[in-house]
Structures are given as C-alpha cells and as structure tokens.
Amino acid sequence: MARGIQAGDTAPDFTLPSQSGEPVRLHDRLGQRVVVLYFYPKDNTPGCTAEACAFRDSYEVFAEADAEVIGISSDSADKHAAFAGQHQLPFTLLSDQGGKVRKLYGVPPVLGLLPGRVTYVIDRQGTVRHVFKSMTNIGQHVSDAVEIVRQLQTEQPA
C-alpha cells in the first residue's frame, strides 16, 4: 500500500472533468496560484456539504491570497453541477469516477469503505506544502488551508 502523497512531495498531475464537463488539468492551474485540492467522499452528504459550504464561505480569503479551491469526489459531473448549484459553490468540482486520482494521491479509505477526506495545499511550483486528513474535523480542513495559503502568499516574490 502506498504511503500517499506527503508534504514535500511533488503533486501528481492529472486531468479530470469539472462540473461543467470541461477537462481540468492540475498543472495548468499551478504557476499563477496556489491550489487547495480537497478530496471528499460524496456530494450531498452532511459532512461533505458542510465542508463544501465552509470552503465556499472562505472563498474570498482564498481568492485574495491567489489560491484556487478544487474539490474531488467520485460523483459524476452532473451530480457535481447540481451540488455546486444548490449550494452556490464558486469553485471547481472534479469527477474522479473510478477513483484513479484518489489512488494516485493515496487517499486512504475510512473503515475500508468510505472514500477518505484529505486536503492538500500545493504551491505554485507544484510541491505539496500541507496535508490534512480528518473525516470529522471539517472546519480544520478549511482553517488549516487558509493559514497555509496566507503563508505561501508572503513567500511569493513581488
């Protein structure tokens, strides 16, 4: 079993369809911005909805710090579109049907069944700077990500 992607590792590149059906390539999003990549189990479950809404509510903070939020689950692009519309999510949701990218990052399942909940903060050079894993501490995913993104913003050369 792979140890999973850790802080200091290079973020594996991938291309997945967004909620609009457009392909999104991770490395195309890097360079200009920091990427907050969060894997979550499923659209419209209580924890995942709370997490998505917490990222939504902090979205301006991320945007001001030149960071982009991207959520990934195995739900279809159509389900993502409905989920994003219902909760006014201003960020990209990617459909990882079959869980290939989840496996690429080594996101562990919980109790052997549920896809895990892990947030990665990836700097402009494509290096993972922070990894946070917790199924239950939803708010910490967002607060940790905000803190790391702000630190990375101060490192950005003028």
Separation of alpha carbons 132 and 149, rounded Å: 13
Is 53 an annotated catalytic residue? no
Separation of alpha carbons 153 and 34, rounded Å: 8
pLDDT band, very low/low/confident/very high, at 1 (cuts 50, 70, 90): very low
Q: What pLDDT score was predicted for residue 152?
A: 85
pLDDT > 60? residue 26: yes
**115: in domain:** yes
**91: in domain:** yes
| Portion of the chain with pLDDT greater than 90, in percent | 71
**128: in domain:** yes
Q: What pLDDT score was predicted for residue 157?
A: 57
**139: in domain:** yes
pLDDT band, very low/low/confident/very high, at 156 (cuts 50, 70, 90): low
**1: in domain:** no
Higher pLDDT, 139 or 47: 47
Q: Share the mean pLDDT of the chain.
A: 90
Give all strands of the β-sheet with 92-95 in edge-to-edge order.
92-95, 67-73, 34-39, 118-122, 128-133
pTM of the complete model: 0.91
pLDDT > 90? residue 92: yes
**12: in domain:** no
Q: State the angle between helix axes of 46-57 and 138-155 in degrees (0 to 180), rounded to the nearest 10.
A: 30
Write down the catalytic residue from 11, 24, 48, 138: 48
Range of the domain at 125: 17-155
- We report the CATH number of the domain holding residue 66 as 3.40.30.10
| Alpha-carbon distances of 153 from 64, 73, 149, rounded to whole Å | 9, 27, 6
Distant-in-sequence, close-in-space partners of 148: CB < 8 Å, separation ≥ 6: 121, 129, 130
pLDDT band, very low/low/confident/very high, at 110 (cuts 50, 70, 90): confident
Separation of alpha carbons 50 and 45, rounded Å: 8
**51: in domain:** yes
**21: in domain:** yes
Q: Report how many domains make up the chain.
A: 1
